[in-house]
Structure 1
Amino acid sequence: METSFLSATILLILITDPLGNIPLFITALKQVKPERRKHVVLRECLIAFTVLLIFMFFGRDFLEVMHLTDESVRIAGGVILFLIAIKMIFPGEGSVFGGDHMHSEPFIVPIAIPLILAPSAMATVLLMSTREPTRMLEWVGALTLCMLVTTVVFLFSGKLQKLLGEQAITALERLMGLVLTAIAIEMLLGGIASYIRQFH
């Protein structure tokens, strides 16, 4: 499946799921003073962006050190995306915070990791960079655009939640989960097909 700049951007936005994470994000910032929230959002998004860039540029070296093939990363990425998508469509009880209550300003956890920087996001940028390293500028652009969207959504999370309402946000998350399921299956089948072709 040929991945374009637009499809890569949309995929990354679906994976980071900023709209679906609005309620969790607001919960994480409950104990943060209003005047500090913008600073926290920018800091956490920058941390997530930096880590994803590191994965993107040094992903191939990481695979070589760990003796992992592109096919294994594609299959693993497909499985992770599928699990994330299923959880988006059929959310269970509990939260991404593991039941802990936030009593101080969040730092890295839980906003940068795992709200933005989920394993599926790391697997996706790793896959992009290893499959088509010659298009690295496109992937960096797609990641940058995705992080800008995430930052804007988080900055205006309170207003968006009031404007759309929880039901609309939930419906959007279900729709994103459905699209992400199809992408995950496509990635999984592509990895399996590529692995099988090695023996022919």
Structure 2
Amino acid sequence: MDHSFLSAFILLLLVLDPLGSLPIFIGIMREVPKQRRGIVATREVGLAFLVLFAFMFLGGRFLEIMHLSERSLEVAGGVILLIIAIRMIFGSAGESAYGLEPGKEPFIFPLAVPLLAGPSAMATVLLLASRQPEKIVHWVGALTAAMLVSGATLLLADRIRKLLGDSVVSAIEKLMGLVLTAVAVEMVLAGLKRYFVGGL
């Protein structure tokens, strides 16, 4: 499945899922002083960007070292995205597997990794770079734009929740999950098609 800048941007935005991260982000940041929240959010988004940026450029080498094909990566990435999408659709609001000690300021874990730069995001940027390396400038631009949107969403977390309400935020997240499900299925089908048509 070939991508353009716009489709890569939308895909990365769906994978990063900034709206779905709002309840987790607010819960984690509750113990952080109000004047520090913007600094912490900006720092964590920057760290997540660096992690995904590194994966994008080291993706080809990683595939060689692990003896992985693009077909297997495409199917695996699709499966991961499908799991994330199902959790987005059927998960409970505010559900989180990441704990943090009260009063402790988050650093890298859990906001940068794995909340933003999680396995699905890593697999996505790695797949984009390995499938269409000639468009690497587009992928860097799409990643930058998606991270900027995610960062702005996290910075405005409280205002967004107050403006839209929990029910609307939840509905948007489930809609994004539905779209991501379709993208995930398409990735799996494309990987299987490449495998059976191209052979071993």
Q: What TM-score does the superposition give when structure 1 sets the normalisation length? A: 0.96
Counterpart AA for 2:43: R
Shift of 1:121: 0.3
The answer to whether the aligner puts 1:188 opposite 2:179 as a matched pair is no
Q: Is the 8 A contact 2:98 2:110 kept in 1?
A: no
Provide the rounded CA distance (Å) in 2 between the counterparts of 1:104 and 1:154: 18
Structure 2 match to 1:33? 33
Q: Is the 8 A contact 2:100 2:106 kept in 1?
A: no
Q: Is the 8 A contact 2:73 2:127 kept in 1?
A: yes
Provide the rounded CA distance (Å) in 2 between the counterparts of 1:93 and 1:100: 18
Aligned positions of 1:141-152 closer than 5 A: 141-152=141-152
Cα distance change, pair 135–153 in 1 and its aligned pair in 2 (3 A): same
Q: Deviations over 1:82-129 (max 9, x none)?
A: 000000000058833345554310111111112111100000000000
Structure 2 match to 1:172? 172
The answer to whether the aligner puts 1:123 opposite 2:140 as a matched pair is no
Counterpart AA for 2:136: M
Structure 2 match to 1:57? 57
Partner-residue secondary structure (3-state), 1:27: helix
Q: Is the 8 A contact 2:23 2:94 kept in 1?
A: no
Cα distance change, pair 104–73 in 1 and its aligned pair in 2 (3 A): same
Unaligned runs of 5+ in 1: none
Q: Deviations over 1:125-180 (max 9, x none)?
A: 00000000000000000000000000100111010010011000000000000000
Provide the rounded CA distance (Å) in 2 between the counterparts of 1:170 and 1:199: 42
Partner-residue secondary structure (3-state), 1:19: helix
Q: Deviations over 1:30-82 (max 9, x none)?
A: 11001111110111000000000000001000110111110110000000000
Cα distance change, pair 116–102 in 1 and its aligned pair in 2 (3 A): farther
Aligned residues: 200
Structure 1 match to 2:4? 4
Structure 1 match to 2:108? 108
Q: State the percentage of identical aligned residues.
A: 50
Provide the rounded CA distance (Å) in 1 between the counterparts of 2:10 and 2:92: 25
Provide the rounded CA distance (Å) in 2 between the counterparts of 1:185 and 1:4: 18
The CA RMSD measured in Å over matched residues stands at: 1.5
Q: Is the 8 A contact 1:96 1:114 kept in 2?
A: no
Unaligned runs of 5+ in 2: none
